[in-house]
Amino acid sequence: MPVAESKPMNAPILARAPHRNRQEAPPAVTMACSPHELPGLLDRFAGIKVLSLDCFDTLLWRDCHAPTDLFATLTTCNRFQRAHGEARARQIARAAKGQNEVSIDAIYRMILPRAGEAQRADAIAAELAAEAQHCYGFGPTIALMHEARRRGIQVILVSDTYLSPRQLHDLVARAAGADIAALIDRVFVSSAHGRAKAEGLYRDVLAKLSVKPREVLHVGDNEGADLNGVAPFGVNCVHLRQFSAEAQQQLRLESAVAAMIDGHAQSALPAPQPHRPALALALPQLADPAQRLGFATLGPVLFGFDRWLRDEAAALAARGGTVHWLFLMRDGHLPLEMHRALGALPHVHAAEISRLTATFAGFARDGAIARHLEENRGIDPAVLARQLRLDEAVIDRLCRGRSHADGWQALMAWCRDPAHRRAIVADATAFARRLVAHVRATVAPAPGDTLMLVDLGYNGTVQSLIDPLLADALQVHVAGRYLILRENCQSGFDKRGYCDETTHDPMLLNALTANVAVIEQLATRATGSVIDYAADGTPLRDGDSVKARQSAVRDEVQRGCLEFARIAPGLACRAGAGDAIDLWRRANVATLLRLMYLPLRHELAVVDAFEHDVNLGTAELLPLFDPAIARRGLLQQGLFYQKGARRMYLPAELADEGLATRLTHLATARFVMPLAAPDFANDTGPITVFLHHGNEAVPVALPVRPTHDGFVSLCIPVGPGRYHAAVPFGALAAHVEIDAVVALPAEEYLAGRHDTDQRTSVITPVLHGIVPLSDRLWHCPDPAGLALFSAAPPADGKNLVILVVFRPIGTPAGAA
């Protein structure tokens, strides 16, 4: 992808809609426009005396994905009863009057047939209150209305709705404000006229207006109603295309994912989407896919996160003293830039404290060294030794030529030596003083102040390591505030998350953190990680190992994210203030979960070459995702290959494997369902395989298990290369498509080790009665056709399995 010309990160990247000179337009002009074109729309038409607007999704937008989602917030009835009541009322109106349009009162007579007038009135009032709470005026449409009034143009609403003209006008006032409602001269609704726009409502509208049709401009989002239903009367019509196809798919999938987060609890708005207006306005104007990714995903998430952080800072200020914001670099870089873009509060700082520096500073505490080694047995002993800042000569002596387990034992024994341990503790103590000097130089806190550490999360490890150090050295309170918080244990420190166990269940938090690497890589900055500090606290960094292209792409993603901060605040005109933080939080979790588990093709194209720097005493870089590994794992083991997969962004590797596979992965991650391989598909076997050793041949019945995409796997135990295997493919199918025939360590395969494929060996079969049509396709004309497999004995003498992955095609030769 070409890299865009570098611009300041906070520079606007969306241009204003081009101004067009007024020109004469022929009667009944029809056209489409995007939301950002609405304010200048009147420049395209001459002689307009009436601006006619559709209401819902044109003037008033809702916080939810589908209009009927709002019915879930009602307490008088549930959403299905509400939908059934409306359908029943329309059915009766068609039978009695030959018309489809009804009033809201008629709807509630169907929902509450035995209720009194007062009870029905209360139910209607409750629905209107819910609409008012979750509707808002769309900024560009309101700008168009102001421009119309400035030009002396009358403004009317023409809506297909069960509300009366008074109810609809009042709803605009309650949702968008009385000043917006005052811009509207007249209201026409289908329920009052007995027909919708597609059924000729505009004939009645024109009869009430003292203007010619060509002097009217009608704008609406529904092509069938607002274009095809109105243009035949000679009225100029503009079809407002709310969203690009890209945004529609994102919002649709976010709505689907939201159902897996909160379910469909009654009285709660399902799938809130307060970022809809920003996506509608900006995405058609952003040509750079990296900027679109940043705008549509990170923008809403960090916008909501910052609103919550401001509330948290205000609450911490009530304790007394100054609250100092410390955004922990490097992952705190983009949250800090978002905060600045939205108007930074005083006492906001970037603090360079990494997990590596916090970990080593923690070794000054008694018992921390042994505890760290014990808790990290699975990490390469050489990496652990570098975290202890041992000399490379010592590391080489302890680890070279030793197995992982032996190297770890040698390191632990070395650290148990009192002299060695005292040296590490002394080094760590001096290191901790330098870390404190960095914080003091960055913040200069007074005793009693609060240091609010801000990071993406998710365990708050840095805070756990340095909280006592900073609290004692600086006499301050330390509070950690995280985008996602999922503590491995209850640390007892002051930690809170925008998403934590007070807002979401632990299984969801686990699902959110499983693929957090993609967020980390997009939020960080292009500098090396801090590895030490000078005596005055100046951070000392290692080199930045990430590729220049990755940094350039990330810059554009971040530029798009910050553009959201510039665009979003002025788009929704609300008369009231609900629980905005909860609304954004619920929307943001759906955005995060969707990006993590159902990434779109254009999003993956942005990050397809990204690498993740592990950054804990190691220079290891891991590809963010590799679809080839997923394909191989799926074909060999089915979806359960993921259990042993050490992947940074595993769902990205499933992007081409179909929605069913991706949703299954999401559901199992979200709900931790206790499923096993047989629950997905029954074995198609067994098949009799002949194991040969010397002159003996032993028939063994082995299962043939479905894996993925029509393929099956056959796992043949052959010991340490002792047995040869003969597989009668001719008895299975007329043709066989071969994906892989490999030998691999039996113990690792059965345990699902993530890197077992690195120790496989390809087997070349010997065919009898089978004709190879290509390397991958075999023809089996003889039902007795066999393939012979032999594995070379491994040097370590461990048991092997031969794994055959194939797809049977057609019935066996000679079968009826």
The DSSP code for 219 is E
- Looking at the domain assignment, is residue 701 inside a domain? yes
What confidence score (pLDDT) does residue 6 get?
A: 41
Mean pLDDT for 484-498 is 93
- Looking at the domain assignment, is residue 468 inside a domain? no
Nearest to 156, CA basis, from 193, 190, 186:
186
- Looking at the domain assignment, is residue 760 inside a domain? yes
d(CA 243, CA 703): 50
Q: Beta-strand (E) ranges in 500-586?
A: 530-533, 539-541, 572-573
Maximum average pLDDT range among 223-227, 577-581, 682-686, 709-713: 223-227
What confidence score (pLDDT) does residue 594 get?
A: 96
25: confidence class by pLDDT, cuts 50, 70, 90: very low
% of residues, the chain, pLDDT over 90: 64
d(CA 398, CA 147): 77
Nearest to 338, CA basis, from 283, 292, 313, 301:
301
- Whether 62 and 134 have beta carbons less than 8 Å apart is answered as yes
What confidence score (pLDDT) does residue 607 get?
A: 87
What confidence score (pLDDT) does residue 668 get?
A: 87
Asked if the model's pLDDT at residue 18 lies above 70, the reply is no
- Looking at the domain assignment, is residue 129 inside a domain? yes
The strand pair at 800-809 and 712-719 is best described as antiparallel
Q: What is the CB neighbour count within 10 angstroms for residue 365?
A: 16
Asked if the model's pLDDT at residue 468 lies above 80, the reply is yes
Give me the number of domains the chain comprises: 2
Using the 3D structure, point to which of 220, 242, 264 is the last residue of a domain.
242
- Looking at the domain assignment, is residue 512 inside a domain? no
* Greater model confidence, 145 or 27: 145
d(CA 298, CA 522): 9
- Looking at the domain assignment, is residue 203 inside a domain? yes
Q: Which domain holds residue 217?
A: 30-242
472: burial class by Cβ within 10 Å (0-12, 13-18, 19+)?
Answer: exposed
What confidence score (pLDDT) does residue 546 get?
A: 60
Q: What is the mean pLDDT of the chain?
A: 89
What confidence score (pLDDT) does residue 597 get?
A: 94
User: Which domain CATH number covers 39?
Assistant: 3.40.50.1000
Using the 3D structure, point to which of 179, 207, 242 is the last residue of a domain.
242
Maximum average pLDDT range among 21-30, 224-233, 368-377: 224-233
Task: Return the bridge partners of 239, or none.
Answer: 32, 220
Least confident of 339-348, 377-386, 420-429, 597-606: 377-386
* Greater model confidence, 722 or 772: 772
248: burial class by Cβ within 10 Å (0-12, 13-18, 19+)?
Answer: middle
Nearest to 308, CA basis, from 481, 490, 510:
481
5: confidence class by pLDDT, cuts 50, 70, 90: very low
Using the 3D structure, point to which of 242, 276, 310 is the last residue of a domain.
242
CB neighbour burial string for 484-515, b if at least 16 within 10 angstroms, e if fewer: bbbbeeeeebbbbbbbbeebbeeebbebbbbb
Find the helix packing angle between 104-111 and 117-134, rounded to 10°.
120
- Looking at the domain assignment, is residue 285 inside a domain? no
- Looking at the domain assignment, is residue 180 inside a domain? yes
